[in-house]
Amino acid sequence: MKLKNIALAAGIFVSALGIHAAQAADISGAGATFPYPVYAKWADTYKKETGVGMNYQSIGSGGGIKQIKAKTVTFGASDAPLKPEELAAAGLVQFPTVIGGVVPIINVPGLKPGEVTLDGQTLADIFQGKIAKWNDEAIQKLNPSVKLPETAIAVVRRSDGSGTSFVFTTYLSQVSKSWADEVGAASAVEWPVGLGAKGNEGVAANVGQTQGSIGYVEYAFAAQNGMSYAKLINKDGQTVAPDAANFAAAAANVDWANAPGYYVIMTNEPGATSWPITAATFILVHAKPEKPEDVASALKFFDWAYAEGDKMAEDLHYIPLPDSVVTQIKATWAKEILGADGKPVFTPN
């Protein structure tokens, strides 16, 4: 199966896909591939409405963090939120944009999307190489009515510094002691097994081309490309599918107001319908930017996205932030992102 092209926004450059825009963009950013589909859609619409383009390099969260710290872009993007002390040390301000879900995608001939169910321990054992065939007893026990083939499992994982990997390995560390002890949670880990691929795009493409494979991507990449996926057993012991309602259920109890720097982890949340690998994605900008007008332009774009982009986000299976959180974010902009004169670089209407 070939990975379908995600519609590129006008003015966007995506280095992970090797696609270059014909003209320079007005806003520059780099980082997470997790939110790329919605950022692309927002940017395309914003360009049509305002004439302002966006140059976003979909290179992975690790790359985005490096570039914003190096001041080579106006904003960085990461699915792995930076802790408050790291934000302070780098002079950065962080805020979330949307919420989504990470889903195990599979390519096993004869298995339909959602026909196979996995629990956290079994998923961790697969990615540790402890379960090597699809008809392994542990998988068969979870799927007694499914005829599983004696096919070798080919693990596909990220090769780059990845916020999606951070979310995925955080979940595995929460549900598997052996994973926590031997591998751990980070944007880049020493993977026990597997073929590395760059970006959500690369993982989706490799799984699509490799029979017997399993990988993990943000759900939009699975949905847009018609990929098969596994259901998961959540913290409450319920079998759940990846969908917007279940991502929202996992995010429902997040206390954003009392999260310094918006540092929030929402994997393995309780709730009968909660999808266990749910996460927000974040933007990073400098608190005292060298080019305030550039940051003002970026914040104006995100201000527009919060006001006008919810339906576009929902159509791509992301969850928009609650209005109360958006109000809080705008207050953060006004308080913490300042020009040389000490005044906010951008004040939302």
**Rounded Cα distance, 148 and 143, in Å:** 8
Q: pLDDT tens digits, residue range 180-205?
A: 999 999 999 999 999 999 999 999 99
CA distances from 148 to 116, 133, 198 (A): 9, 9, 29
Work out whether the CA dihedral 326, 332, 335, 337 comes out positive or negative: negative
Asked which of 17-26, 49-58, 309-318 is least confident by mean pLDDT, the reply is 17-26
121 near 180, Cβ under 8 Å? no
Predicted confidence at residue 292, as pLDDT, reads: 96
Per-residue model confidence as pLDDT tens digits over 126-178:
999 999 999 999 999 999 999 999 999 999 999 999 999 999 999 999 999 99
120 and 232 Cβ atoms separated by less than 8 Å: yes
What residue spans define the domains of the chain?
15-98+280-336, 101-256
Q: What are the pLDDT digits (tens) for 300-310?
A: 999 999 999 99
Q: Can you tell me whether residue 298 is helix, strand or coil? A: helix
Q: What pLDDT, on the 0 to 100 scale, is given for residue 119?
A: 98
- Beta strand 213-218 with 154-158 is parallel
For CA atoms 56, 62, 68, 70, the dihedral sign is negative
Domain 101-256 has CATH 3.40.50.2300: no
- The model carries a pTM of 0.90
Q: Spell out a b/e string for 216-248, using b for 16 or more CB atoms within 10 Å of the CB, else e.
A: bbbbbbbbbbebbbbbbbbbeeeebbbbbebbb
pLDDT in tens, 48-86: 999 999 999 999 999 999 999 999 999 999 999 999 999
Q: What's residue 158's pLDDT?
A: 96
**CA–CA gap between residue 130 and residue 193 (Å, rounded):** 10
Q: What are phi and psi of 32, to 5 degrees?
A: -50, 135
Q: Which two tokens stand for residue 260?
A: 């310094």
At the second CATH level, the architecture of 15-98+280-336 is 3-Layer(aba) Sandwich (3.40)
Q: Distance (Å, rounded) from C-alpha 197 to C-alpha 201?
A: 8
Query: Tokens standing for 180?
Result: 């926590």
Amino acid at 244: A
pLDDT at 309: 98
Q: Is 237 helix (H, G, I), strand (E, B) or coil?
A: coil
Q: What is the pLDDT, as a whole number, of residue 26?
A: 82
In this predicted structure, the answer to whether residue 1 has a pLDDT above a threshold of 90 is no
Each residue of 204-233: pLDDT tens digit? 999 999 999 999 999 999 998 899 999 999
